[in-house]
């Protein structure tokens, strides 16, 4: 059953997932100042969010099989709304960790639900196109969210009474020194709105498979013993850790070493990082039609290494250019690693995908390592840890041996 309206709903879900996921980076300096945190303590926030992906991805797959995509998506947005609302009402560091874990759990459940649903309602032949469209919506939200954050902070910080009713309402329900918490009021409302929207949206019924769960568990146990599966798991682990390691620490890095205002220019540089990643995704589509994906991976990863070194050790002008460029060069990594992985085996793609998605937990581990090291040796040298996942991704271009090469 094809439906452009339902495809539109799914694309908006991609947008919401990205908006809620990638706002943490711009907020890091504000969070540190608000709760008087060390860099290690600040790193536990993205850790709690992405830990939920590692915990929830595979169980969500079983939940989708048992309840169906629609019910899982409604439950996901409900959990996300509760998490955001709890922190908005009583903002504290400990509750923020719990809140981010709940929001992350909801986002993991959505990630597992929407791809098979998009394939079903958008058509199998259009799945590749719709998937890329989903990534563009994902990138667009990541680009917009830091700009909305800056707008809210500026609007809520004025001494005079704002004329905008939304801004006036947010000003009345947030503490003067915690204006950034207004974003979580918005998240709570948007998540609840999506929950209600999905309740009244008719999705195609899916036949429940019977007696498959035991077989699926056996598939997971069998393929997880395969060294190639483990290597590709660490490929995804490395990529998401790299992406979040850069995005979460750009603003604090620029504030510490170049005295950049994190609420204005810092947020803008993060926005450019995600914006160039979106442009890189589009250009990658054309390059993949012309060049073998492994060669693209080698070239773009090498360029990412150079950009990272320039961003961390270069002057202010160089850093402001190099950080967004990292976004451009890492943009094709996710899709190339996923496609190389799935094209390297002839069966059990569903179970393999579940294991790959659980590799998103890298977004929890690597930013945390950077934060802990930053407290001991400084953030500049802490961020050089990102060379390790980059070098591992570089090796994939050499040792990968897919059964099917991209056209």
Contact yes or no for 134/262 (Cβ under 8 A): no
Distances (CA, A) of 67 to 84, 129, 137, 231: 24, 27, 27, 32
Could you tell me which residues come within 8 angstroms of residue 302 by beta carbon, excluding any fewer than 6 positions away? 394
Give the count of beta carbons closer than 10 Å to the beta carbon of residue 283. Answer: 12
Cα dihedral value 125, 234, 312, 284, nearest 10: -20
CA distance 266 to 255: 8
Residues 140-195 have pLDDT tens digits of 888 888 888 888 888 887 655 656 778 888 888 888 888 889 999 999 999 999 99
Res 210 pLDDT > 60: no
Q: Which residue has the higher pLDDT, 281 or 353?
A: 281
The mean pLDDT value for 18-29 works out to: 83
Token pair recorded at residue 370? 């950077």
CA distance 369 to 355: 23
- Provide the residue count of the chain: 407
Among 66-70, 318-322, 343-347, the minimum mean pLDDT is found in: 343-347
Contact yes or no for 284/292 (Cβ under 8 A): no
> What are the chain's domains?
1-201 (1.20.1250.20), 213-407 (1.20.1250.20)
The mean pLDDT value for 8-26 works out to: 85
The mean pLDDT value for 30-57 works out to: 88
CA distance 264 to 260: 8
pLDDT at 10: 87
What's the whole-model pTM score? 0.81
Distances (CA, A) of 132 to 40, 118, 327, 343: 35, 11, 17, 18
Residues 382-399 have pLDDT tens digits of 999 999 999 999 999 898
pLDDT at 208: 56
Distances (CA, A) of 55 to 9, 64, 107, 231, 279: 26, 15, 12, 19, 31
CA angle 11, 186, 141 (to 5 degrees): 35
Provide the greatest CA pair distance for the chain. 65
The mean pLDDT value for 204-208 works out to: 63
pLDDT band at 338 (very low <50, low <70, confident <90, very high): confident
CA distance 407 to 398: 19
């Amino acid at each position: 059953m094809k439906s452009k309206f339902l495809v539109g709903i799914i694309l908006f879900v991609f947008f919401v997932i990205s908006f809620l996921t990638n706002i943490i980076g711009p907020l890091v300096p504000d969070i540190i100042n608000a709760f008087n945190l060390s860099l290690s303590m600040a790193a536990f926030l993205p850790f709690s969010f992405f830990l939920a992906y590692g915990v929830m991805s595979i169980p969500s797959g079983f939940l989708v099989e048992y309840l169906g995509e629609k019910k899982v998506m409604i439950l996901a947005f409900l959990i996300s709304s509760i998490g955001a609302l709890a922190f908005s009402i009583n903002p504290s560091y400990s509750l923020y960790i719990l809140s981010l874990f709940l929001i992350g759990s909801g986002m993991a459940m959505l990630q597992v639900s929407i791809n098979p649903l998009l394939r079903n309602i958008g058509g199998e032949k259009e799945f590749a196109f719709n998937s890329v469209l989903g990534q563009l919506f994902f990138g667009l939200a990541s680009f917009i969210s830091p700009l909305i954050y800056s707008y809210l902070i500026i609007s809520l910080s004025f001494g005079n009474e704002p004329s905008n009713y939304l801004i006036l309402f947010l000003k009345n329900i947030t503490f003067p020194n915690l204006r950034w918490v207004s974003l979580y009021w918005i998240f709570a409302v948007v998540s609840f709105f999506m929950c209600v929207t999905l309740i009244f949206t008719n999705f195609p019924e899916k036949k429940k498979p019977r007696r498959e769960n035991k077989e699926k568990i056996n598939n997971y146990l069998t393929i997880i013993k395969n060294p190639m599966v483990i290597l590709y798991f660490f490929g995804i682990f490395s990529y998401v850790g790299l992406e979040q390691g850069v995005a979460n620490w750009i603003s604090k890095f620029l504030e510490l070493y170049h005295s950049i205002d994190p609420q204005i220019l810092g947020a803008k540089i993060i926005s450019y990082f995600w914006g160039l990643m979106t442009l890189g995704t589009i250009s990658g589509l054309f390059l993949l039609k012309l060049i073998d994906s492994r060669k693209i991976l080698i070239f773009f990863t090498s360029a990412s290494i150079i950009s990272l070194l320039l961003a961390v050790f270069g002057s202010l002008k160089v850093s402001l250019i190099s950080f967004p460029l990292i976004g451009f060069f890492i943009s094709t990594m996710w899709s190339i690693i996923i496609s190389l992985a799935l094209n390297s085996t002839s069966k059990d793609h569903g179970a393999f995908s579940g294991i790959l998605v659980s590799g998103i937990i890298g977004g929890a581990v690597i930013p945390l390592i950077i934060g802990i090291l930053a407290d001991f040796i400084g953030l500049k040298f802490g961020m050089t840890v990102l060379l390790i996942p980059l070098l591992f991704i570089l090796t994939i271009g050499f040792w990968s041996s897919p059964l099917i090469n991209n056209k």
